[in-house]
Every structure is written in C-alpha cells, then in structure tokens.
Amino acid sequence: MKATEANFDGLVGPTHNYAGLSYGNVASTNNQTTPSNPRLAALQGLEKMKALYDLGLVQGVLPPQERPDLATLRKLGFTGNDTQVLNKAAKQVPEILAACCSASSMWTANAATVSPSSDTGDGRVHFTPANLVNKFHRSIESLFTGKVLKKVFPDEQHFCHHSPLPGVSQFGDEGAANHTRFCKSYGEAGVELFVYGASGFNHPKSQCQPKHFPARQTREASEAIVRNHLLQKGQVVYAQQNPDVIDQGVFHNDVIAVGNKNILFCHEKSFLNQHAVYQQIKKAFNTKDFTIIEVPDNRITVKQAVNSYLFNSQLVSTPDKEILIVPSECEEHSDVSLFLGELVNGNMPISEVLPFDLRQSMKNGGGPACLRLRVVLSKSELDCVNQSCLFSSPLFKTLQNWINKHYRDKLSTQDLSDPLLLDESRNALDSLSRILGLGNIYHFQE
C-alpha cells in the first residue's frame, strides 16, 4: 500500500499570549508577562505550512479552540453575563482567566496520538486525543480536540476515534510529542516508539523520576494507547526519558529527539539506558538499514538543545531527500549552526536544513515539531479527509486575509478580560469554521 505522511498544523488562535502557564517549560516561564503578537504568531505558523506544501508535502490545518473559554469559567463558579464572568475571573483569580484564554491548542503535536492503518489490528487509522492533565490550561483542550478530529477525519470505515484516557496523573498523556513512528516506507507496518517520563502506578520501573520538573507522560498512558490502537507487541518499543533532562527543561521527548522513516536524530542524553533503547528499536525494525544520528553532549549540551530547540525540528521526506525543518534560533547558536553545517555536508541521510522564524510560538516553548500532528494516510484515506482542511494556495491566501482581518498585533495578559477580545475571537472563529468546512463546532455557535 502506498501512503504519505501529512502534517496537520494548528492555527494560532487570536488570544495567543505569554502567561507563564507551563512550569517545567523554560521558555514559557522566561517570557511570562511579555506582550505577544497574535497576528504575527499566526502568520509565522502559516508561512511554515505554505513552505511544506510548496515542497510537495501534504499539509493540513486544524482550527484554534474557543478562547476565552467561558464555559469552563462558568463551570468554575464565575457567574453573570460574559463581561461579568471575564471581569470576576480577572479580579479574583487572573491565573484561571489566563488558563482559559491560552491559545495552546496550536501545538497539535500534543493534540493526539495517531497510529496509521498499516500498524493497527483493524486496518483503520486510530486517534486518541491527549488528556494533557499535567497543566490545567491544556487539560481543557481534549474534548474539543476529539470533536475536531472527528470532523476532519469523519469516515468510520477508515478512521477510529478513541476518547481521551482518564483525566488523572496516572494516565497523563501528552500525545504525539512523545510518540515516534519508524517505517521503511509510510505504507508498510512500522515500529512505534512510546516515550514516557515516569510510571503512573509506582512499580519498580518508576524509581528514576525527575527531581524538579514534572514528568508529563506516563508509561501506563502509552500502554493503554497501544492496547486501544490494536498495535502488536513486536512493533512497539517503550523508552523512559532521562529524568535529568526533564529537569533541564525537556518537558516532552520532542524537545530532545525526532525520528522519521529509518532515521532517529537525538541527543545522547535523551533516554534512560539509551543503548538498550537503540537495540530494541533496531530489533523491532528488523533490518540493518536504520540510522541513528546521536549528538554528543560535548558538541551540543542539553541546555543548548533546549535554548535552540534543535531537536524540535521536523524531519520530512521528499522524493529525493530528507530535510530538517528547524527554528531560526538554530542559526543564531554558533555551536548548533556549526553542527548543522557539518550534518548536511557529511555522509548522513539528512541533506538540507530549512530554518523558520517561529519566534512567537517559540517564546512559549513551541517549535516547528510542536505545531504539527503527523498523520500517515493512504490514498483512499486522504480522499476521506475533510478536503476544506487541506492546504492549498487559495486556502493560504484566504487564511492570510482572515488573520490580517481578525487578529490583534499586540496582546498582554491584562487584555484577556477585554470583552472586545471575546467578540473579536468569536467573529474570527465563526468565519474560520466556514472556511474549513467544519460546521457549527464552537460552543458560542450552538
């Protein structure tokens, strides 16, 4: 079977801001309270989508969620009309208001874990929306994410949608940010690597835990997904993140490793028992044609990796080459830039590096890889995707105009209770739901 890998990027929402909501994510903490530029953020993301589309890759678009999330604020006891709810939350618990305004659903690598049909027992593409329980502002994404995925991948014959895992820390699930699939070609059965930060139920394997920052993904969450997605034992590898790097700001595995097809590009400190992990992947992959590009700490430290987001790159495959899509910060860190120069000029399979300015997202700890959800699709599955959500030149123009019309170019956390921002966001999303052919998906449209 012939298949292709599509990237579904999250559009940055109109309330994009820096509220310092993600303890353990260094950029989020460092940029707390600086003003954001939602318009620029959305345009930067859109330019990346356009560039990947121009490379001939299949590119999809996922919509932002409804923010400010008035329904959640009401659930938490803030009463009155919309303006009163916003004002009460801003006055009484501004942290809750900020959480209910975060545009964090843009990082669609955390939207779900996806297993392609060639890996699953029933020959369907399986989706499990991530519960994201480690952070309140992210936990309120999962139900709507499930709803959106069903609208974008509607056909039950080809697509199987699971519910998010139970919303407790033992099953903490952060989606594809901790999931990597290796394969010889996209249409063949692959090897799925599930990386976790800790065990949820305290069995002996959990002895190594980070000391400062939280481990967001549990092994039990990954195991539940493997069962639900009907994956076979021999094609699954579990690996524990190195707890020391979590403590240095590697809050998801995709901050320290990226893989695609038969290539794994990672830092030498990514996993516990790293060499045993390599052996397991190679054994499951079952051919010698597997390349590991391991970056030693004496070339690039974990700190440099976290600051440059080198490993939060997208490793994409065009018919003639493998390309690394990196954040432009990689060009500014001299050790990283030197390393990348050597990489493309050496005899490794990656032969091109393309930098992108995603600074607005990066300031919240979201690089190129965070912004996309990978979905491997056969031709017939691709035909069943909601076609209005697939990128094209006309859609690029439409979205560019839509962003320029509806988005502010400056937003600070003090602006989040502004009732005009609520109106602007709702108008924008109402119009977007028509552009993307999603119907009335938002609460305010009911």
Amino acid at the residue 192: E
Q: ∠ at Cα 131 (59, 368), nearest 5°?
A: 35
Buried b (16+ CB within 10 A) or exposed e, 113-142: bbbbbbbbeeebbbbbbbbbbbbebbbbbb
Q: Which of 365, 378, 396, 432 binds ligand SUG (CB under 6 A)?
A: 365
Measured between alpha carbons, how far apart are the two ends of the chain, in Å? 41
Strand order in the sheet with 179-182: 179-182, 191-196, 236-240
Choices 122-130, 217-225, 246-254, 329-337 (CB under 6 A): range interacting with ligand SUG? 246-254
Choices 45-53, 74-82, 107-115, 230-238 (CB under 6 A): range interacting with ligand SUG? 107-115
Q: For residues 285 and 185, is the Cβ–Cβ distance under 8 A? A: no
Name the catalytic one among 174, 192, 329, 381: 174
> Is residue 217 at the binding interface for ligand SUG, with CB under 6 A as the rule?
no
Q: Which of 10, 13, 14, 20 binds ligand SUG (CB under 6 A)?
A: 20
> Is residue 252 at the binding interface for ligand SUG, with CB under 6 A as the rule?
yes
- Tell me the closest approach of the beta carbon of residue 177 to ligand SUG, in angstroms: 3
174 in catalytic set: yes
* Per-residue contact flags (x/-) with ligand SUG for residues 112 to 151, judged by CB under 6 A: -----------------------x--x-------------
Per the structure block, which two tokens stand in for 303?
């700190």
Q: What is the CA radius of gyration of the chain?
A: 21
Amino acid at the residue 94: P
DSSP string over 47-97: HHHHHHHHTT-EEEEEPPP-SS-HHHHHHTT--SSHHHHHHHHHHH-HHHH
Q: Which of 8, 107, 159, 442 binds ligand SUG (CB under 6 A)?
A: 107
Is the bond into 63 cis (omega within 30 degrees of 0)? Answer: no
Q: Which of 8, 18, 171, 186 binds ligand SUG (CB under 6 A)?
A: 18
Per the structure block, which two tokens stand in for 308?
């440059």
Name the catalytic one among 160, 183, 330, 370: 370
Q: Which of 97, 239, 255, 316 binds ligand SUG (CB under 6 A)?
A: 255
Choices 104-112, 290-298, 401-409, 437-445 (CB under 6 A): range interacting with ligand SUG? 104-112
Choices 112-120, 195-203, 248-256, 349-357 (CB under 6 A): range interacting with ligand SUG? 248-256
- Tell me the closest approach of the beta carbon of residue 132 to ligand SUG, in angstroms: 7
**Among residues 44 and 235, whose Cβ is nearest to ligand SUG?**
44
Q: For residues 146 and 111, is the Cβ–Cβ distance under 8 A? A: no
Choices 223-231, 250-258, 335-343, 434-442 (CB under 6 A): range interacting with ligand SUG? 250-258
Per residue, the 3-state secondary structure of 395-428, as one string, reads HHHHHHHHHHHHCCCCECHHHHHCHHHHHHHHHH
Give the footprint of ligand SUG on residues 368-407 (CB under 6 A): 370
> Is residue 358 at the binding interface for ligand SUG, with CB under 6 A as the rule?
no
100 in catalytic set: no
> Is residue 96 at the binding interface for ligand SUG, with CB under 6 A as the rule?
no
Rounded to the nearest 10 degrees, how much is the dihedral formed by the CA atoms of 99, 105, 108, 111? 70
Spatial separation of the C-alpha atoms in residues 393 and 279, rounded to whole Å: 44
What positions carry a catalytic annotation? 174, 252, 370
Task: Point out which residues bind ligand SUG (CB under 6 A).
Answer: 18-22, 25, 28, 102, 104, 107, 109-110, 135, 138, 177, 251-252, 254-255, 364-366, 370
